[in-house]
């Protein structure tokens, strides 16, 4: 689990430098709840980027705004990962698939825009 694309890219580059050519599929978890993500980062040792933490903290208590921040960040990560050659994406949903679904829809729309399709929550 990571929230900064650079973490994935460093891992990928270290693996390649070690002579391994097995694809590494990055996991994307839309960070929509600052308390939950802080706890996950603490338990896993994953870095929680300060900029993302500040953005989420600024909208703490506003579920819709937190959702938008998380989806926006996850979308930017997913687009960059694919641009950097990631072989695919794996979404962590934690039984809340709407943020992952919307993130994926945003990524697909960047490739092939669709009109008139609504993403529900």
pLDDT for residue 55: 94
Residue 64: pLDDT above 90? yes
Cβ atoms of 79 and 58 within 8 Å: the answer is no
pLDDT for residue 44: 85
Residue 120: pLDDT above 50? no
Distance between CA atoms of 53 and 59, rounded to whole angstroms?
10
pLDDT in tens, 7-53: 999 999 999 999 999 999 999 999 998 888 888 888 888 888 899 99
Q: Which of 59, 99, 58 is nearest to 77 (CA)?
A: 99
Confidence of residue 114 (pLDDT cuts 50, 70, 90): low
90 bridge partner residues? 27
Residue 121: pLDDT above 50? no
Mean pLDDT (whole number) for 67-85? 96
Task: Count the helix, strand and coil residues of the chain and give each as a percent rounded to the nearest 5.
Answer: 55, 5, 40
pTM: 0.85
């Amino acid at each position: 689990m990571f929230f900064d694309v650079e973490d994935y890219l460093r891992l990928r580059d270290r693996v390649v430098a070690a002579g391994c050519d097995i694809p590494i599929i990055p996991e994307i978890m839309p960070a929509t709840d600052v308390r939950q993500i802080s706890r996950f980062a603490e338990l896993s040792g994953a870095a929680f980027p300060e900029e993302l933490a500040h953005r989420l903290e600024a909208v703490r208590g506003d579920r819709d705004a937190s959702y938008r921040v998380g989806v926006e960040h996850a979308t930017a990560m997913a687009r960059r990962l694919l641009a950097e050659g990631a072989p695919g994406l794996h979404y962590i949903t934690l039984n809340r698939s709407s943020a992952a679904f919307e993130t994926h829809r945003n990524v697909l729309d960047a490739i092939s825009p669709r009109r008139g399709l609504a993403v529900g929550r």
